[in-house]
Copies of this chain bind each other. A is one copy, B any other.
Amino acid sequence: MKIEYVNPFISSTIHTFETMLHTNLTAGKPQLKTEPFLTHDISGIIGLSGDAKGSICISYPKIVALKAVSRFLGSEVKIVGPDVSDAIGEITNIIAGNAKKDLGGLNVSISLPNVVIGRAHKITCPANIQGIVVPFASEIGHIAIEIHLKTV
Whether the Cβ atoms of A89 and B49 lie closer than 8 Å is no
Minimum CB–CB distance from A36 to chain B (whole Å) comes to 10
Copies of this subunit: 2
Whether the Cβ atoms of A124 and B45 lie closer than 8 Å is no
- A124-B85, A127-B86 known; A114 vs B45 contact (CB < 8 Å): yes
Chain B residue with the shortest CB-CB distance to A109 = B49
A45's partner among B45, B86, B90, B119 (CB-CB below 8 A) is: B45
A50 to B48, CA, bound (A): 11
Q: Taking chain A's interface residues, is the majority helix, strand, or loop, or is none over half, making it mixed?
A: strand
Kindly name the residue among A46, A54, A82, A114 whose own CB sees the greatest number of chain B CB atoms within 10 A.
A114
Whether the Cβ atoms of B122 and A118 lie closer than 8 Å is yes
Whether the Cβ atoms of A53 and B112 lie closer than 8 Å is yes
Whether the Cβ atoms of B35 and A110 lie closer than 8 Å is no
